[in-house]
Amino acid sequence: MNKSTNGVANSVAAHYAGSNLLAAVRQALQASGKDCNALAPADLAPVDEFHVRGREATLELAARAAPKTGEQVLDVGCGLGGSARHLAYVHGCNVYAVDLTESYVAAAHTLAQWVGLAGKVHFQCASALALPYATGSFDLVWTEHVQMNIADKRGFYGELLRVLKPGGRLAFHDVFRGTTGAPHYPVPWASHAGISHLIAPAAVQELLLHLGAQILEWEDRSEAALAWFRRVIERQHQSGPPPLGVHILMGESAARKSENMMQSLDGRSIAVVQAVIQKPRSPFR
Ligand SMILES: C[S@@+](CC[C@H](N)C(=O)[O-])C[C@H]1O[C@@H](n2cnc3c(N)ncnc32)[C@H](O)[C@@H]1O
């Protein structure tokens, strides 16, 4: 990474970095009545699926991507690693996962130990723009809610496609630019516009096709996302946030960020898409 790329990466990591994350998660688990010595991976889902519609969206994306037992899978921008652990635990994949934010990678590793999955998912601190894997390493590359922090879209999608085997799939669940201007900030991935890089869905499709990839599935899930935020916010107005939730990761402005997501979806300034893309079987350009 050059100096300016490094500076941007530091600002993004600083946005996410949290201290005492694991202590906060443990306390919230206890407050939810969970036995911390007998946790299942799904017990962590309220906090380790840091994207719109949480575990529900991961199940939906997995149904589209159809991960198979023994497949080599990479989760790019894994956060606390909920999706990565799900793919290893439920689908029997051999999962690697990277993230820019050191404290998340460390927490992801410890959470895997807590649920008996240490050694089944390999977490590493790395940038999506310089993945530490050889070309053609993975059957499936998976990413949820990461590219919004990355300005270099060509570098991002090009790198994801590079590490795929010929014929391999890229599955993503992401936030894109809507049709009516900028979203309200702060949002979960950015406290200000400086680290938010939204692109129109059509521009991503064009880029992927230009990179030689084939679009197998593409579905706008903005309506489902809006309905989910309405339910979550309604519940929070009635009874406050549950002890265990992604508000632990979003800090003091968590409620504001969720309200802004709801308003931005309602006003169509953002869109949520799930897609599955295939790398061509013939040599990749
Ligand atoms: C909103 S969180 C989503 C985490 C996870 N994918 C999930 O769905 O739970 C965005 C994550 O992307 C990571 N990230 C942002 N830019 C990145 C980059 N250039 N390389 C690797 N990770 C990045 C952040 O550190 C953060 O953990």
Nearest CA to ligand 1 atom 4: 79
- Strand, helix or coil for residue 34: coil
Ligand 1 atom with the smallest distance to the CA of 77 is 22
Best of 100, 105, 143, 156 for a ligand 1 pocket test (most atoms within 8 Å of beta carbon): 100
| Other residues' Cβ atoms within 10 Å of the Cβ of residue 61 | 25
- Closest to 37 in 3D by CA, of 45, 21, 26: 26
Residue 214 near residue 174 (C-beta atoms within 8 A): no
Question: What gap in Å lies between CA 84 and CA 87, rounded to an integer?
Answer: 5
Residue 4 has what pLDDT? 60
pLDDT tens for each residue of 226-270: 999 999 999 999 998 899 999 999 999 999 999 999 999 999 999
User: What pLDDT, on the 0 to 100 scale, is given for residue 2?
Assistant: 61
The domains found in the chain, sorted by start residue, are 3-278 (3.40.50.150)
Residue identified by tokens 């990179």 is: 211
C-beta pairs of 231-235 under 8 Å, 24+ apart in sequence: 232/258, 233/258, 233/259, 233/262
Q: Separation of 160 CA from ligand 1 center, angstroms?
A: 14
Nearest CA, atom 14, ligand 1: 77
Tokens for 10?
Answer: 């530091």
282 Cα–ligand 1 center, Å: 30
Spell out the residues 6+ positions from residue 250 whose beta carbon is closer than 8 angstroms to its own: 188, 257, 258
Ligand 1: which atom is nearest the Cα of residue 51? 8
Those residues of the chain that have pLDDT short of 50 are: 285
**The tokens 């940038």 sit on which residue?**
127
With left for phi above 0 and alpha for psi between -120 and 50, is residue 70 left, alpha or beta? left
Ligand 1 centroid distance, CA of 242 (Å): 23
Within 6 A (CB) of ligand 1 lie: 9, 12-13, 16, 49-51, 77-79, 82-83, 98-101, 104, 127-129, 144-146, 149-150, 188-189
Distance 145 CA to ligand 1 centre (A): 7
Atom of ligand 1 minimally distant from the CA of 82? 9
Largest distance between two CA atoms of the chain: 56
